[in-house]
């Protein structure tokens, strides 16, 4: 646990130093264990907040804990594929394992994401950690790493916006057809 706390402190307070010293290979066990602890803390504390604020059952704490860890770990591998592709598009020299390591360690920000209101600010810091990690693991400039990290998020936001527009238009069209005669 001492290693976990020290790693957490270093990632959050000195990401440049952390990512410049982080091994780019060596397997997934250590970074995934670190990330699993971060996701477990997020899931546990989010579940407790849900119980306090909405009166959810205590069972929701366990469901939140398990769900966040499982979805978080799966997300690291899927996000790793996406970021790896974008880092490569912008000339990155790192590999997929290094990219998953970036995401695993940037999950340190998730330890504080459960805090109401400030959680989204912490998530922005997590994005910054990914940018710094990409710079070191893929030997990119900060600007290229930032574009590689932000571009998939922008594309996702555009897709979600378009889907919402289509859904709203479909609902509106159904409403006009159903109530057009009144």
Closest by Cα among 11, 77, 78 to 38: 11
State the DSSP string of 110-154: GGGTTSTTTHHHHHHHHHHHHHHHHHHHTT--HHHHHHHHHHHHH
Whether the predicted pLDDT of 101 surpasses 70: yes
Whether the predicted pLDDT of 47 surpasses 80: yes
Q: In this structure, how many other beta carbons lie within 10 angstroms of the beta carbon of residue 142?
A: 11
Closest by Cα among 11, 41, 9 to 106: 11
**Burial category of 82 from C-beta neighbours within 10 Å (exposed 0-12, middle 13-18, buried 19 and up):** middle
CA–CA gap between residue 126 and residue 148 (Å, rounded): 15
CA–CA gap between residue 89 and residue 150 (Å, rounded): 13
Range name among 18-27, 97-106, 134-143, 167-176 with the lowest pLDDT average: 167-176
Average pLDDT over the chain, rounded to an integer: 92
What is the model's pLDDT at position 180?
52
Residue whose entry in the numeric block shows the structure tokens 């998939």: 152
What is the model's pLDDT at position 21?
95
Average the pLDDT over 96-111 and give the result: 96
DSSP code of 26?
Answer: S
Count CA atoms within 13 Å of residue 164 on its CB side: 6
Average the pLDDT over 3-16 and give the result: 96
Number of domains in the chain: 1
Whether the predicted pLDDT of 178 surpasses 60: no
Whether the predicted pLDDT of 71 surpasses 60: yes
3 state SS of 174 = helix
Q: What percent of the chain has pLDDT over 70?
A: 96
61: containing domain: 2-179
Q: 10 and 123 in contact (C-beta within 8 Å)?
A: no
Whether the predicted pLDDT of 125 surpasses 60: yes
pLDDT band with cut points at 50, 70 and 90 for residue 2: confident
């Amino acid at each position: 646990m001492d290693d976990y706390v020290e790693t957490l402190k270093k990632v959050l307070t000195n990401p440049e130093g952390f990512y410049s010293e982080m091994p780019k290979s060596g397997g997934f066990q250590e970074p995934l264990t670190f990330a699993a602890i971060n996701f477990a803390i997020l899931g546990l504390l989010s579940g407790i907040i849900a119980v306090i604020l909405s009166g959810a059952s205590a069972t929701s704490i366990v469901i939140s804990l398990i769900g966040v860890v499982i979805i978080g770990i799966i997300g690291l591998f899927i996000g790793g594929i996406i970021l790896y592709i974008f880092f490569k598009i912008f000339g990155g020299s790192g590999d997929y394992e290094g990219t998953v390591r970036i995401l695993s360690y940037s999950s340190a920000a998730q330890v504080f994401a459960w805090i109401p209101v400030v959680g989204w600010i912490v998530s922005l810091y997590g994005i910054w950690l990914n940018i710094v990690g990409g710079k070191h693991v893929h030997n990119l400039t900060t600007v290229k790493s930032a574009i590689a990290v932000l571009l998939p998020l922008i594309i996702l936001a555009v897709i979600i916006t378009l889907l919402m527009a289509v859904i709203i238009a479909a609902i509106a069209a159904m409403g006009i057809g159903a109530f057009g005669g009144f």
